[in-house]
Structure 1
Amino acid sequence: MQHQLQQATVDKYVINPLKSFISNSVMGGIVLLGAAIIAIILANSPWSESFLGFWKNRISIGFNDTVFLDYDLHHWINDGLISIFFFVLGLELKREMVDGQLSGFRNAILPIVVGISGMIFPALIFFLFNGSDTEAINGWGIPMACDIAFVLGILYLLGDKVPVSVKIFFTAFGIVDDIGAVLVIALVYTNEISLWSLGLGLLFFVLLILANKVGVRSTLFYGIVGIIGVWIPFLLSGVHATIAAVLVAFTIPATTKISETGFLSKIKSYSGELNDAESFSGVTLTKKQLSIIKKMKSMTKHATPPLQRLEHSLHPVVSFIVMPIFALANAGVVFDIDFADLFSNNIFFGIVTGLVLGKFLGIFGITFLLLKLKLVKLPKKMTVNHLLGISILSGIGFTMCLFITTLAYDSPQHVTQAKIAIFAASIIAGISGYVLLNRKPKKETARINV
């Protein structure tokens, strides 16, 4: 009998390398960046018209002669596919609130303050540049958001030069940043609202909350009711459908049906039964063995919260399917705009300055002030250089900034100005932050002890 997992040829040369690629936290950011570059190249190539026109193809859902949902492909991606990203984001937010960096007041206070200030300062700077322009001012929410995936990708590329505590701290205030972005989308970038559709969606949302309370743990149930009962009504209501995805995520159970001690005891008992069970001389299993293994599988499922099962299974889907497709559909900027048009208003300067300077002031400036006032302490092993680095890297505002751009502006010129500004700011912030964190600090004591 083999005591080790047998490796077939397909496992060794296909499946295992693919699993390794998908599990690498850096690869998601690299694939996303690659998709964005491909979109920009195609948008400025001889195939530009075909590439950009592809996203205008319409997909509709109807019955007989009645069409219920009729949108172009770009709309389906920005309201439908991207909702999977927001759903996973909602799962992460709930996990952090239940048992993570945002689970207690002492843990959450610094990330919350930094996350909020990191949104306010960029918005204020954008307002200073564009406050007098009634059309341009609609983009004030664009520089508020940072791209957690890209920043974490850079932090992981830096390896041991960035302690785990720094990555956790960034993730914590980055999550607050995401909450702020979701609220801005819900409260600001929402069109005329159909109260009937919204009420229907909220009714099914309450149903999911009740299902959680009475112990329903089927992810299929939450998926069906969430899509048909919550997401579609929100889509038809005028409130952005991504908000429905976040709300549904918060209804997913985050508890287990058995304690860790009870699970270990059960598995040990089943292992003994499996060891004592009569077996065939060949490679197949007896009914008794199959029954025991099925019980072990069921017990493992009971010991894993549905929230974490979904989060774990959907992360690769988001990183390697959803986000690259979103980038292909939204990052294709045609650089046929001349400098006079690019700088015909202050959208470009407002976004670049907001992301690069605003994020720095809101994160580093406020944290440094709180440290000087002895109101907070930096996480263990985190230095001022680390704080500087992640404050600058937070100016990488790709995914969420591009998404808000599509909601803020209707004018193609304004959209192009905003996208070019987002790319410019992200490049400046990414290179500057990486160089700063990659350099060897002169003194290991470059830390504020308060």
Structure 2
Amino acid sequence: MSKTIRGRIKSTLRQFLDSEASGGLILMAVAALAIVVANSPVADVYFHALHVYLGPLNLQHWINDALMSVFFLLVGLEIKREMLDGQLSSWSRRILPGAAAAGGMALPALIYIGFNLSDPSTLRGWAIPTATDIAFALGVLSLLGDRVPASLKIFLAALAIIDDLGAVIVIAIFYTADINVLALAVAAVLIANLVILNRSSVKNIWAYLGLGVLLWIAVFLSGIHATLAGVVLALAIPLKVTPGTPEAAQEDSPLHKLEHALQKPVAFFIVPIFGFANAGVSFAGASASVLAEPVTLGVAAGLLFGKLGGVLGTVALLVKSGSAQLPARATWSQMTGVSLLCGIGFTMSLFIGLLAFADASSQDHVKIGILAGSFASGVAGAAVLMASARRRLLA
């Protein structure tokens, strides 16, 4: 193979890895593969493998509790950076995506509750349709290229980050098991040590990560979901090397270094593994009636209609009242399309669904609802945005 061809292959691969859409595209492919495998002759092997024990936990728990802690670590790093030094660093920047995120969490929850009000056992899943999958949503948006203004991509990313923060709070408050006070006390001591490292301007990332592993074990044993240890650890990682450091030099801060180091492993390894392990749902013996189940309907309708109404309605209220402005160069039809994309709730919705329900039947209903609602939201959002771009070209 010539150097020119090798260079082209390497360049194409680098462009793919660096593109915003690639993480979402891989996640789409992995989710589809999981469904195919779960309904193939090797389905039994797939489901059995997930329950094989490797030490104290089975494979699915290692993925959902340990690997996903790294995902939550990255989420925490992104939240901290955006809040202190990014698109959410001032209240004027926070108000529109923040309020839209709140509306986009409240209405889907209410819709789900409406479908499940008569059954207390399924009400526990109210938070499932409140989450937006940033990789999926930005992936679809990025496929449209420059037909969508950059300001809308920033708005969607900011909204999804605030949405993730809301999901973390919901998990901590509403999906915590019985508390082990001793383990929680150990966790508190470890957090205090992380704060001391931060206040002492310690820049060695491994010092934080070492305490982070111990914190994960303590939180896991405490009854609080172990992935939240990743968020707590992220908040302790220093953003600035020393007080007064110029902005250009902040790229060398421990937070930036760790965030950059984790982005590709999380996007191309951890989240796809989680998606493959949890998106697989078997349709063997299932009938069309599963689509009419309250859980399935609540999740799907919450994602499709709840996110649209909650996000778009809140934005309209703020803009019409003069409290905020639409993102630069964005139209109302484009905002409608982005609001629909917020209904893609794959990763975090699946995660909350697994916490909400322990039985396989309910989890299958959740997965079908998430897949149906996310697919409909993605297709509808992309169609609205493409139609909007076409109208602008013809105008």
- Shorter-normalised TM-score: what interval? over 0.9
Q: 1:437 to 1:10 in 2, by over 3 A?
A: closer
Any idea what SS the aligned residue of 2:202 has?
coil
Distance (Å, rounded) in 2 between the aligned partners of 1:343 and 1:15: 45
Among 216, 226, 230, the residue aligned to 1:245:
230
Out of 86-95 and 302-311, give the one that drifted further: 302-311
How many residue pairs get matched? Answer: 393
Distance (Å, rounded) in 2 between the aligned partners of 1:249 and 1:260: 20
Any idea what SS the aligned residue of 1:126 has?
helix
1:78 and 2:52 are equivalent in the alignment: no
Structure 2 counterpart of 1:351: 299
1:59 and 2:54 are equivalent in the alignment: yes
Structure 2 counterpart of 1:181: 167
1:236 and 2:236 are equivalent in the alignment: no
TM-score of the two chains, using structure 1 as the length reference: 0.83
Question: Post-superposition shift, 1:212?
Answer: 0.8
Structure 1 counterpart of 2:100: 114
Structure 1 counterpart of 2:32: 37
1:210 and 2:196 are equivalent in the alignment: yes
Structure 2 counterpart of 1:160: 146
Which one has the bigger helix percentage?
A: 2
Whether the 8 Å CA contact 1:260–1:303 is kept in 2: the answer is no
Distance (Å, rounded) in 1 between the aligned partners of 2:392 and 2:289: 47
Among 20, 23, 32, the residue aligned to 1:28:
23
Map Cα deviations across residues 201-243 of structure 1 (whole Å, 9 max, x no partner): 1211121111011110111111111112x11100111100111
Letter in 2 for 1:128: G
1:387 and 2:335 are equivalent in the alignment: yes
Any idea what SS the aligned residue of 1:250 has?
helix
1:254 and 2:202 are equivalent in the alignment: no
Structure 1 counterpart of 2:353: 405
Structure 2 counterpart of 1:125: 111
Distance (Å, rounded) in 2 between the aligned partners of 1:368 and 1:261: 38
Q: 1:201 to 1:174 in 2, by over 3 A?
A: same
Distance (Å, rounded) in 1 between the aligned partners of 2:293 and 2:144: 38
Question: Post-superposition shift, 1:441?
Answer: 5.2
Whether the 8 Å CA contact 1:115–1:173 is kept in 2: the answer is yes
Map Cα deviations across residues 101-128 of structure 1 (whole Å, 9 max, x no partner): 2211111111111111110000011011
Question: Post-superposition shift, 1:339?
Answer: 3.0
Distance (Å, rounded) in 1 between the aligned partners of 2:281 and 2:247: 56
Structure number, greater radius of gyration: 1
* 1:288-299 aligned within 5 A: none
Question: Post-superposition shift, 1:391?
Answer: 0.4
Among 302, 305, 310, the residue aligned to 1:362:
310
Whether the 8 Å CA contact 1:259–1:303 is kept in 2: the answer is no
Among 11, 16, 19, the residue aligned to 2:14:
19
Q: 1:420 to 1:212 in 2, by over 3 A?
A: same
Question: Post-superposition shift, 1:15?
Answer: 4.8
Letter in 2 for 1:32: L
Question: Post-superposition shift, 1:325?
Answer: 0.6
Whether the 8 Å CA contact 2:203–2:241 is kept in 1: the answer is no
Q: 1:39 to 1:442 in 2, by over 3 A?
A: closer
Q: 1:261 to 1:100 in 2, by over 3 A?
A: closer
Q: 1:99 to 1:238 in 2, by over 3 A?
A: same
Structure 2 counterpart of 1:145: 131
Whether the 8 Å CA contact 2:251–2:257 is kept in 1: the answer is no
Question: Post-superposition shift, 1:370?
Answer: 1.8
Map Cα deviations across residues 297-344 of structure 1 (whole Å, 9 max, x no partner): xxx8x8611111111111000011101110111011001243365157
Distance (Å, rounded) in 2 between the aligned partners of 1:261 and 1:414: 52
Among 78, 81, 100, the residue aligned to 1:92:
78
Structure 2 counterpart of 1:224: 210
Whether the 8 Å CA contact 2:353–2:363 is kept in 1: the answer is yes
Structure 2 counterpart of 1:309: 257
Map Cα deviations across residues 243-272 of structure 1 (whole Å, 9 max, x no partner): 110010010010034977798xxxxxxxxx
Out of 367-376 and 237-246, give the one that drifted further: 367-376
**Runs (4+) off by over 6 Å:** 7-11, 258-263
Structure 2 counterpart of 1:431: 379
Whether the 8 Å CA contact 2:198–2:237 is kept in 1: the answer is yes
Out of 103-112 and 115-124, give the one that drifted further: 103-112
Whether the 8 Å CA contact 2:201–2:242 is kept in 1: the answer is no
Any idea what SS the aligned residue of 1:241 has?
coil
Map Cα deviations across residues 11-44 of structure 1 (whole Å, 9 max, x no partner): 7266544333221221111111111111111110
Whether the 8 Å CA contact 2:201–2:241 is kept in 1: the answer is no
Q: Which runs of 5+ in 1 are unaligned?
A: 1-6, 61-69, 264-299
Percentage of matched positions with identical amino acids: 40
Any idea what SS the aligned residue of 1:244 has?
helix
Whether the 8 Å CA contact 2:134–2:160 is kept in 1: the answer is yes
Please give the root-mean-square deviation of Cα atoms over the aligned residues, in Å: 2.3
Whether the 8 Å CA contact 1:257–1:303 is kept in 2: the answer is no
Whether the 8 Å CA contact 1:256–1:303 is kept in 2: the answer is no
Q: 1:261 to 1:90 in 2, by over 3 A?
A: closer
Distance (Å, rounded) in 1 between the aligned partners of 2:246 and 2:93: 27
Letter in 2 for 1:55: L
Q: 1:433 to 1:172 in 2, by over 3 A?
A: same
TM-score of the two chains, using structure 2 as the length reference: 0.94
